[in-house]
Chain A
Amino acid sequence: MILRPTRDDLKLIAWGIGRVILGIGLIMLVPLAVAVVSTEWITVLDFLVGITACVTFWLIMENTCRVRGRDLTWSHGLVVASAGWLVAMLFGAIPHFLSGHFKAYLDACFDLMSGYTTTGLIMIQDLDHVSHGLNMWRHLLTYAGGQGIIVIALTFLFAGTAGAFKIYVSEGKEEQLLPNVVRTARAIWMISLTYLVVGSTLIYISLLWEGMPAGRGLLHSVWLFMGAWSTGGFAPQNLNLLYYHSLFVELATMLIFIIGSFNFALHYAVWTRRRTEIWKNIEIRSFTITSMIATFMLAIGFSKMEVYTTLTEFFRKGYYNLISGHTTTGNSTIFSTSFYKEFGFIAMWAITLAMAIGASACSTGGGFKGLRMGIVTKSLWGDIKTLVSPESAVVREKVHHVRDIWLDDALVKGTMLVMLSYVFIYAVGGLLGVIYGYQPSVAFFDAASAGSNTGLSAGLTTPLMPALLKVWYIIEMWAGRLEFMSVFALFGMSAAMIIGRGKKTRLLKGRR
């Protein structure tokens, strides 16, 4: 029997979402400051409207929905995370839409979800002439989204509440770096901010080396870092990394997005004296193996097509885009149409599979995740060993991720369920594309890109694509980033509101 949520449950959820939206409003202060310094007064107005909307929403929720004496349960946390991202998209899209660079509010929402989820697919028009303020907002939201909107809210707005851990987990980050979840959120920020300084400096030096003026170079280096580290793949120019024609910038961004795709727990372990973790970790091993298989496919594909035949070309045009796809970044050094015009079938599918597999769990990346690939592969290996072992033998497999994890049926089943959910959204997106008349390889490429939060496009994703496909890609990006559980919880609660029983019964009675 499904029980209908009570009024208090809904109020608690709305209160939690209000806090998340306040977080979005506070982040908008940074692009507002950039717009003021750059004397972009129209952009200043756009952000003032956005901030006012966010603060007003928060004030209403804080004053009407606070339930004294009750904290968030697990189910509340799941629904706050999933619904919070959708509401955050609607409010965050206000400055985007007011800028006049979008054909419709749906397009602005698409770019917002793409940014929050570190996807990198874009609908924005005339990107080369976007204001500094809006560009800062685009890159900042992908940087913030990479750490997790909820992590931001946890860091500043949920401190001291016992429900904090529940919404932290609901955002697809299951690992605690430290015993306290708020301290974990702050540790994630410490790692990201340290890399912000180091990575931006590296890119800045590369841009100065290439002759870019100091002031412009500073802004571009920070934006490129934010796009690469968050594995979002945004760049301030329409041609993305192709605009710079610089090997140094490509090497710097590649280094940043590969490191950015590592698990935060791994960063923390390597930074705090467990140095050998980098070689032992299942996700690094999984990434190395899958990237080598994809590289092999890419090299075979290029040889057959007789393109990018020199080592430099292969590295800059092929390997860069492959690893950008595998880390679910989306930075690109080629035109989007080159994927189907030059890469050919094998190389294009190498990148599609790499995107589908994706980066590490509890990182800024998306896709199946290296940890899940490792668990499924090890489990399969265990099954093979069982088959060839004597009947009395007990075969148990483990994976190493910061600590040893013994595999059991429940863990493997849960892992397979999430992976199947990814396959489902990739397949539906691809089939929808085919139904609308796009080439199958292009349709599945862009669908995998959206679902795995990558952002590479073979040319399908434009403002001219059908509205239904835009909506589905938004759903793909959202569900893929949250890794499904909190999305299932939101659907479950919506169903309970319609078909659930009992007016006063509490559906969302979770572990306290």
Chain B
Amino acid sequence: MERGTDIRGREASRWRRWSGYALGIIIESAGVAVIALLALLLMLLVKVIMT
């Protein structure tokens, strides 16, 4: 019984850890998207000013 609880506990912990990693990947990707969008906006601004 104790052994079963222990295994379930470890699986839950592993699941929490890997879902945390997945969220980390999503956050990092969102950060990159924000930087790229800012650059595109800047390029549009320069285009408007230069024409």
Q: Which chain A residues have a beta carbon within 8 Å of chain B's beta carbons? A: 194-195, 198, 254-255, 258-259, 262, 267, 270-273, 275, 278-279, 284, 287-288, 291-292, 295-296, 298-300, 303, 309, 311, 314-315, 319, 323
Contacts and interface: CB of A to CB of B under 8 A. Distances in A.
Contacts of B39: 291-292, 295, 319, 323
B39 to A, nearest CB: 4
A258 B32 contact: yes
B12 interface: no
A323 B44 CA distance: 17
Given A258-B35, A271-B20, A296-B46, A311 B28 contact: no
Given A275-B23, A278-B31, A284-B31, A303 B38 contact: no
Interface in B1-51: 20-21, 23-25, 27-29, 31-32, 35-36, 38-40, 42-44, 46-47, 50
A360 to B, nearest CB: 12
SS class, residues of chain B in contact with chain A: helix
Contacts of A287: 35
Contacts, number: 71
Residue from B20, B25, B38 having most chain A Cβ neighbours under 10 A? B25
B20 A273 contact: yes
A259 B29 contact: yes
Contacts of B21: 194, 271
Nearest to B50: A303
Nearest to A277: B27
Contacts of B27: 270, 275, 278
A270 B24 contact: yes
Contact of A299 (B20, B29, B32, B43): B43
A81 to B, nearest CB: 29
A272 B28 CA distance: 13
Contacts of B24: 267, 270-272, 275
Please provide the 8 A-B residue pairs with the shortest distance between their CB atoms, ordered closest to farther.
A271-B24, A299-B46, A303-B50, A295-B39, A270-B24, A258-B32, A299-B43, A278-B31
A194 to B, nearest CB: 6
Contacts of A195: 25
Contacts of B40: 311, 315, 319
B44 A311 contact: yes
Given A258-B35, A272-B20, A303-B47, A278 B42 contact: no
27 contacts: A255-B29, A255-B32, A258-B32, A270-B24, A270-B28, A271-B20, A271-B25, A272-B20, A272-B24, A273-B20, A275-B23, A275-B24, A279-B31, A291-B39, A292-B39, A292-B42, A295-B42, A298-B43, A299-B50, A300-B50, A303-B47, A303-B50, A309-B47, A311-B40, A314-B43, A319-B39, A319-B43
A309 B47 CA distance: 8
Given A271-B24, A275-B23, A300 B35 contact: no
Contacts of B50: 299-300, 303
A303 B50 CA distance: 7
Contacts of A273: 20
A300 B43 CA distance: 9
A299 B36 CA distance: 14
A435 B48 CA distance: 42
A201 B27 CA distance: 18
Residue from B23, B24, B36 having most chain A Cβ neighbours under 10 A? B24
A178 to B, nearest CB: 14
